[in-house]
Amino acid sequence: MDMAGDTRETIVIVGGGICGLAIALALHRKGIRSLVLERAKTLQATGVILVHPNGWRALDQLSVASYLRQTAIPILSGQFISLDNDKMEELHIGKEELRCLKRTDLIKILADNLPPNTVRFGCNVLSMEMDPITSSPVLQLEDGTSLNAKVVIGCDGVNSKIAKLIGVKAPTIFNLLTIRGITIYPSAHKFGNEFKMIKKDDVIFGVTPMTTNRVFWFLTTKYISESDPKISKSHKLIVNAACELVKDFPSSIKEMVKNCSPEYSHFSECLKLQTPWDILRTQYRVGRVTVAGDAMHAMTPFIAQGGSASLEDAVVLARCLTGKTVVGGPSGGGSKMMVEEAFDEYLKERKQRVMRLSLQSYLLAKTEETSSKFIKFLCIVLMVVLFPDSFIHTRYDCGSL
Ligand X SMILES: Cc1cc2nc3c(=O)[nH]c(=O)nc-3n(C[C@H](O)[C@H](O)[C@H](O)COP(=O)(O)OP(=O)(O)OC[C@H]3O[C@@H](n4cnc5c(N)ncnc54)[C@H](O)[C@@H]3O)c2cc1C
Whole-number Å distance between alpha carbons of 74 and 99:
5
Q: How far is the CB of 28 from ligand X (least distance, A)?
A: 17
Which is nearer to ligand X, 49 or 286 (by Cβ)? 49
Which range, of 189-197, 287-295, 349-357, 371-379, touches ligand X by CB under 6 A? 287-295
Helices 53-61/18-29 angle, 10° precision: 40
Which is nearer to ligand X, 9 or 156 (by Cβ)? 156
Q: How far is the CB of 203 from ligand X (least distance, A)?
A: 15
The one among 221, 310, 322, 361 contacting ligand X by CB under 6 A: 310
For the chain, give me the number of helices (H) and strands (E)? 12, 17
Whole-number Å distance between alpha carbons of 59 and 12:
22
Binding mask 75-114 for ligand X (x = CB under 6 A): ----------------------------------------
Q: How far is the CB of 52 from ligand X (least distance, A)?
A: 7
Cα Rg of the chain, angstroms: 21
The one among 24, 106, 155, 363 contacting ligand X by CB under 6 A: 155
Look up residue 175 and give its amino acid.
Answer: N
Q: Is 44 in the site for ligand X (CB under 6 A)?
A: yes
Which range, of 32-40, 144-152, 226-234, 322-330, touches ligand X by CB under 6 A? 32-40
The distance of Cα 235 from the centroid of its chain, to the nearest Å, equals 23
Q: Is 394 in the site for ligand X (CB under 6 A)?
A: no
Which residues, other chains included, contact 79 with Cβ-Cβ below 8 Å and sequence gap of 6+? Answer: 88, 89, 90, 91, 194, 195, 196, 197
Position with the least CB separation from ligand X: 17
| Share of the chain residues as helix, strand and coil, in percent rounded to the nearest 5 | 35, 25, 35
Binding mask 115-134 for ligand X (x = CB under 6 A): --------xxx---------
Which is nearer to ligand X, 15 or 334 (by Cβ)? 15
Which is nearer to ligand X, 35 or 123 (by Cβ)? 123
Q: Is 265 in the site for ligand X (CB under 6 A)?
A: no
The distance of Cα 275 from the centroid of its chain, to the nearest Å, equals 15
Which range, of 31-39, 193-201, 377-385, 393-401, touches ligand X by CB under 6 A? 31-39
Q: How far is the CB of 75 from ligand X (least distance, A)?
A: 12
Q: Of 19, 60, 55, 15, nearest to 35 (Cα)?
A: 15
Subset of residues 318 to 377 that bind ligand X, contact rule: CB under 6 A: none
Which is nearer to ligand X, 306 or 334 (by Cβ)? 306
Q: Is 221 in the site for ligand X (CB under 6 A)?
A: no
Whole-number Å distance between alpha carbons of 160 and 198:
34
Which is nearer to ligand X, 163 or 256 (by Cβ)? 163
Q: Is 157 in the site for ligand X (CB under 6 A)?
A: yes
Which residues, other chains included, contact 280 with Cβ-Cβ below 8 Å and sequence gap of 6+? Answer: 351, 355
Total residue length of the chain: 401
The one among 12, 34, 35, 39 contacting ligand X by CB under 6 A: 39
Q: Of 361, 357, 172, nearest to 272 (Cα)?
A: 172
The one among 10, 11, 20, 290 contacting ligand X by CB under 6 A: 20
- B/e letters for 359-373, b = 16+ CB within 10 Å, e = fewer, are bbbbbbbbbbbbeee
- B/e letters for 177-195, b = 16+ CB within 10 Å, e = fewer, are bbbbbbbebeeebebeebb
Which range, of 221-229, 301-309, 340-348, 351-359, touches ligand X by CB under 6 A? 301-309
The one among 11, 17, 246, 340 contacting ligand X by CB under 6 A: 17
Whole-number Å distance between alpha carbons of 194 and 91:
10
For residue 321, CA distances in Å to 19, 76, 208, 327, 336 come to 16, 37, 37, 7, 12
Residues that bind ligand X (CB under 6 A): 14-20, 37-40, 44, 49-50, 123-125, 155-157, 161, 178, 268, 293-295, 301, 304-308, 310
